[in-house]
Structures are given as C-alpha cells and as structure tokens.
C-alpha cells in the first residue's frame, strides 16, 4: 500500500492520479475533507481507502501497521502563506510531520515529503544548504524547521527519506485553494469575469509584472515524486522547480494567448488593456519573494533526474486548455 497524505489536495490528488497511470491503485488517501469540494479532485481516482488525517495520526501513534506500506507520501499541510495563526501552522505542518517521519523510520517505510521554496526567504541563492535558508512567515518557518529536524534526525531510519522543495506549482486540481491558488488559475478566472487580468505593479526594483518566479507545472512535480519512488537509493532534500525564472507577465501573456488563440507580446496585451497593474499590497511588504529560481544541481546529480521541465509557455497553455475543457 502507498499512503498519500493530502491526497485530496492539489499536488496530492495529481500524485494519486499519477500512481494510477502507472497501474498502482492500492492507495490510502489521508486528508481533511472539511472542505467537501475537494472530493472532486479524487472522485475519478482509483484508491483502496480513505482516512481522515486526525484518525490517521491517532492510528500511527498506536503503531498500526496498515498492511506494510511500501511508501508514505506526505503532501498534507496548511499551505496558506498568509495564515497568521502560528500555533495552528506549527501543529499541522511541523508536529504532524514529525510523527509521520518517526512512524516511517520505525517501520522502514520510504518517506517522501513536501517542503517548500519559501524556506529561501528573500535570498537569491536557491541551493539546498543551511546558509541560504531563512523564513519570511510562519508557513515558511514550519517547513524550514521540519527540514532541519529531518537533517538532525536522519539516522532514525534506514529507509529512504526525501524532502521536495516545491517552487511555484500550477495546474489541475487547485480550485479549492482560493487565494493561494496559482496566478495562472487566477488570471484565467479574471479574464472570464472581467475581460482582463491584474498583476502587481513593480516592487523590490522590478518593473510592473516583472517579478520573477520559478513556475513549475504540476505534472512535472508528479514525475519527480514518482522518480524517487522508483529510486529508493536516492535520499536528501531536493529543489523541485524548472531552473528558470520567468515573470508574472510571462504567465499572464501565456494565459491570454491561449484563451484568445493569439501570439501577442506582453506589451501588446498591456496596450489592449487586457493586462493591468494594481498597487503592491502593504500586507506583503517584507514577506514576498520577488525572485526565485531553483538550483537543480542536487536533483540532476544526486537525484539522477534528467527530465526537461515545461516552460511557462508550454505548461500554462496545457493547463488553460484543461480549464477550458472543464477537466
């Protein structure tokens, strides 16, 4: 059995779907379905069973075997970077993760968990080393502290342990995330609601919409997760991005070109007033990453991973086409 926490969420449900495509259906999905809309992410998936996250925690603390899992994918978390309840974040993202880490170690189960590029804070070096890490908010701190905990306690398990630092992921199944959904998703909805898309004006020395992020399509993220399932000899903390920094303007332009069947530039869309800029929010000052770009050295060397990742133009086009088709 493969256990996937957060299996009804964005990346988790795509991972379950990816496992199904490989002929694997002996899957236990663990999640919190207080938001019942998330069932749409997994209703077409082939799984063995579902369990609430609190019940799952109670059972692993009791030492339940679950029939000898072959892997535990820990994707569940509070992913809201604007959440201010630090106690809730630490309980959900840190303490819960520690329990699963020790359970996996004690039972010799490969443990592959979701970390985050937010652990690099406002820095400009995105390599998996402590000197490059800092937290700009409670969410980032919960992820960073768990990475540090795993490093210090790695010897509790002889099984594989992998931390995946996701950069800006976009794609199918993120509708329930609300304000934390990707900008590609928000741009798609803005276009249909008002006929144009809104981007932040310039900040941190960047021109309007020119803040740079490493945007990665969720299908590529799933492929990385499955790569480590197939390579149990590889372990450690790995960045999961494209290794490219592209602008928010690039994302907006890809969305608009796909929706309108055009090949226009950002400047042309701005002239058409279909890209418009709004003031940078005060609430994000000092808490916002204006630049991210994954260093993929560890992934492509230690992780033996050599797949080419989709560009914004390629991945966003496929995603928007899925949204249009209602998939």
Q: What is the DSSP string of 222-254?
A: HHHHHHHHH-TT--EEEEES-S--EEHHHHHHH
Q: Please, is 288 exposed, middle or buried when counting C-beta atoms within 10 Å of its C-beta (0-12, 13-18, 19+)?
A: middle
C-beta separation of 80 from 142 below 8 A: no
From CA 228, how far away is CA 164, in angstroms rounded? Answer: 10
Predicted pLDDT of residue 113: 98
Q: What is the pLDDT of residues 17-49, one digit of tens each?
A: 999 999 999 999 999 999 999 999 999 999 999
C-beta separation of 197 from 255 below 8 A: yes
Predicted pLDDT of residue 136: 87
From CA 268, how far away is CA 272, in angstroms rounded? Answer: 6
pLDDT at 15 over 90: yes
C-beta separation of 299 from 239 below 8 A: yes
Q: pLDDT confidence of 326, banded at 50, 70, 90?
A: confident
Q: What percent of the chain has pLDDT over 90?
A: 84
SS3 track for 51-108:
EEHHHHHHHHHCCCCCCCCCEEEECCCCCCCCCCCHHHHHHHHHHHHHHHHHHHHHHC
Mean pLDDT of 220-233: 96
Q: What is the pLDDT of residues 67-124, one digit of tens each?
A: 899 999 999 999 888 788 999 999 999 999 999 999 999 999 999 999 999 999 988 9
List the one residue out of 270, 249, 273, 242 whose CA is nearest residue 187. Answer: 249
From CA 233, how far away is CA 128, in angstroms rounded? Answer: 19
- Tell me the sheet residues that pair with 240: 166
Q: What is the pLDDT of residues 197-226, one digit of tens each?
A: 999 998 888 999 999 999 999 999 999 999
pLDDT at 287 over 80: no
Catalytic residue positions? 139, 177
pLDDT at 177 over 80: yes
Map out the domains of the chain with their CATH numbers.
Answer: 2-170+215-242+294-309 (3.40.50.720)
Predicted pLDDT of residue 302: 76
From CA 156, how far away is CA 283, in angstroms rounded? Answer: 40
């Amino acid at each position: 059995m493969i256990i996937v926490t957060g299996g009804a969420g964005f990346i988790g449900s795509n991972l379950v779907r990816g496992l199904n495509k490989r002929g694997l259906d002996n899957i236990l999905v663990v999640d919190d379905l207080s938001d019942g809309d998330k069932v749409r992410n997994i209703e077409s998936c082939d799984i063995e069973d579902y369990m609430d996250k609190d019940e799952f925690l109670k059972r692993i603390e009791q030492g339940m075997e679950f029939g000898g899992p072959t892997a535990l994918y820990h994707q569940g978390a509070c992913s809201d970077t604007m959440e201010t309840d630090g106690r809730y974040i630490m309980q959900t993202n840190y303490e819960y993760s520690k329990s699963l880490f020790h359970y996996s170690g004690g039972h010799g189960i490969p443990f592959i968990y979701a970390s985050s590029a937010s652990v690099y804070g406002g820095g400009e070096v995105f390599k998996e080393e402590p000197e490059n890490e800092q937290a700009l908010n409670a969410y980032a701190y919960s992820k960073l502290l768990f990475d540090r905990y795993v490093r210090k306690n790695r010897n509790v398990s002889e099984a594989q342990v992998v931390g995946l630092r996701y950069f800006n992921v976009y794609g199918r199944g993120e509708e329930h995330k609300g304000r934390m959904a990707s900008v590609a998703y928000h741009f798609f909805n803005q276009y249909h609601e008002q006929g144009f898309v809104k981007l932040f004006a310039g900040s941190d020395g960047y021109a309007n919409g020119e803040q740079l992020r490493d945007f990665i399509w969720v299908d590529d993220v799933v492929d990385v997760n499955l790569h480590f399932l197939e390579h149990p000899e590889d372990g450690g903390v790995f960045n999961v991005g494209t290794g490219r920094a592209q602008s928010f303007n690039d994302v907006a332009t890809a969305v608009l070109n796909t929706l309108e069947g055009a090949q226009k530039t950002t400047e042309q869309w701005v002239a058409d007033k279909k890209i418009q800029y709004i003031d940078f929010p005060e609430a994000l000052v000092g808490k916002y990453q204006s630049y991210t770009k994954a260093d993929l050295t560890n992934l492509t060397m230690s992780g033996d991973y050599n797949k080419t990742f989709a560009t914004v133009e390629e991945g966003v086009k496929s995603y928007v086409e899925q949204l249009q088709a209602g998939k």
